[in-house]
Amino acid sequence: MLDIQQLRANLDTVAAGLAKRGKPIDFSAFSALEAERKTLQTRTQELQAQRNSLSKQIGMLKGKGEDASEVMAQVGALGDELKASEARLAELLGEFNAILAALPNIPDDSVPVGADESANVEIKRWGTPKAFDFPVKDHTDVGEGLGQLDFATAAKISGARFSLLKGGLARLHRALAQFMLDTHTAKHGYTELYAPYLVNAASLHGTGQLPKFEEDLFKVLRGEQDPLYLIPTAEVPVTNIVRDEILAAEALPLKLVCHTPCFRSEAGSGGRDVRGMIRQHQFDKVELVQIVHPDLSTAAHEELTGHAEAILEALELPYRRIVLCSGDMGFSAAKTYDLEVWLPAQDTYREISSCSNFGAFQARRMQARFRNDKNKPELVHTLNGSGLAVGRTLVAILENNQRADGSVEVPAALRSYMGGLELLEPAR
């Protein structure tokens, strides 16, 4: 959430920053509410001053034994108007909050300006895509050829955009998540969490999914109780740990990692990637979250992205890092790096991790703060990124490590998690 004082003091600057996202925002409603607020605020202060002055007169008149009824009547009339003014000011606060909740974050000055993904900028490339001497299959054909990836049964059980993994492939999926957790905890200094898969609306508001993106969520109704939502990512429960908290400065940074399934309705996907495991309603992800001092969030963003890259490098998967332009970033992000892994069947790089710095945007929504060196509460900065999306990593392994006979080579880094197994082989 943006700072309302920033809008009041520098509305043109805020509007220009948000316009970089490619969709200029009409602030006329905000300006009208602000004009009304200023008028009401001034009138309320005048009424309060008049009431205080008249109350003193009442005391003096009564002290002299004189009739104070006329002045008391004036105070009563002022009280009615004052009560109405204060009530309207409270209503205005709610209307301001509704406007602020719908405004995205302002892109960082270092973010390239552009309308869509065509303006994203590649800043790093690692690894060389393998040259195959046989026709390359996509991950769906490779997995089904192994007899270990089953979309038909998953569709019977749940519907489209679900998958069923079997045997060695299911074990490889589990091994990937365990390898990621072990790497991030042992080598990168993260604390592992196990978090709820169902969250309340306040948590989703805190990280920015609500109210704007409710159609992307799976909502669980509970009769008379408030609904819960299946998490779209572990970012939601993990980041909300600090909601409504004031942390000690020495507690920062918090570096947290969590493996969960993620649930997304894909309401806005427009039918993209309907084949295979790229875009599903349920998928696993290992999520990295950092809660840091504001002065250190830029450095933390580079560090966190490097931690996600380390997984790809350990698995020997070619990838590139791109910085998203202003028009392609998520709602809450101030700056985002996407990591894209090479998929030979598509002959292109595809997203496998988004690593974002949100600045104080989420923290303001959550009221997540720390005590600064003056012992005053100050908003923390929040960051997160996939470290990595487990299903998409599995896709990349199936495609990059396939062999002509239909088998798939298990990456060396995962073999100890697979009982020494070096190959996934088709059933004979």
The Cα 314–Cα 301 span in angstroms is 20
| DSSP SS3 for 354 | strand
Examine the residue annotation and report whether 279 is marked as an active-site residue of this protein.
yes
- Answer yes or no: 174 catalytic: no
Q: Which of 245, 266, 313, 351 is catalytic?
A: 351
Instruction: Give the rounded distance of the alpha carbon of 404 from its chain centre.
Output: 40
Question: Rounded to whole angstroms, what are the CA distances from 396 to 290, 311, 399?
Answer: 27, 12, 5
Q: Which of 279, 350, 371, 403 is catalytic?
A: 279
Beta strands in 23-72 (DSSP E): none
**Which of 21, 161, 264, 365 is flagged as catalytic?**
264
Is-catalytic flag, 21? no
**Active site includes 371?**
no
Q: Using DSSP bridges, classify how beta strands 149-150 and 225-230 pair: parallel, antiparallel or unpaired.
A: unpaired
Helix, strand or coil, per DSSP, at residue 120: coil
- CA 119 to chain CA mean position, Å: 22
Question: Which residue among the candidates 354, 356, 364, 386 is catalytic per the annotation?
Answer: 354
Is residue 138 within 8 A of residue 145, CB to CB? The reply is no
Separation of alpha carbons 45 and 397, rounded Å: 67
- Any catalytic annotation for residue 243? no
Q: Which residue has the tokens 């609500």?
A: 210
Phi, psi of 405 (to 5 degrees): -85, 5
Distance CA 394, CA 341 (A): 11
- Taking each helix axis as running N to C, give the angle between helix 167-186 and helix 297-314, from 0 to 180 degrees, rounded to the nearest 10: 140
Of the CA atoms within 13 Å of residue 95, those in its CB half-sphere come to 14
The residues, any chain, with a CB within 8 Å of residue 425's CB and separated by 6 or more, are 146, 406, 407
Q: Is 287:258 a contact under the CB 8 Å cutoff?
A: yes
User: Exposed/middle/buried for 92, CB within 10 Å: 0-12, 13-18, 19+?
Assistant: middle
- Residues facing residue 381 across a β-bridge: 292
- CA-CA-CA-CA dihedral for 31, 96, 215, 119, to nearest 10: 50
Active-site residue set: 264, 279, 351, 354, 392
